[in-house]
Amino acid sequence: MIRGCIPKKLLSYAAHYAEDFEDARGFGWSIEGASFSWPALIANKNREIARPLRHVYRRVRPVGVTVIEGTAKLVDAHTVAIGGAA
């Protein structure tokens, strides 16, 4: 399950590291013993999804952002319903 942009970013960034390590050789880097663990990546992604972000979003209220809490559903190209209300 992916909820929000940060879990997606974790997966996207992880997908690029193998190429980045290979490219780094051309810049003089030697990265010996690098390894990848799919279970560790998924565990970190799941931990990020489970992390409560409400306290983070409350920081934007003082700058004029309206925060609406609930589960959102895209109704059509121009409408988002939250908690059954559009």
pLDDT, tens digit, 9 for 90 and up, residues 27-80:
999 988 889 999 999 999 888 888 776 666 666 667 777 777 788 889 999 999
* Residue spans per domain, the chain: 5-82
Closest CA to 38 of 7, 18, 11: 11
Alpha helix (H) residue ranges in 1-86 = 5-25, 38-50, 54-57
pTM for the full model?
A: 0.57
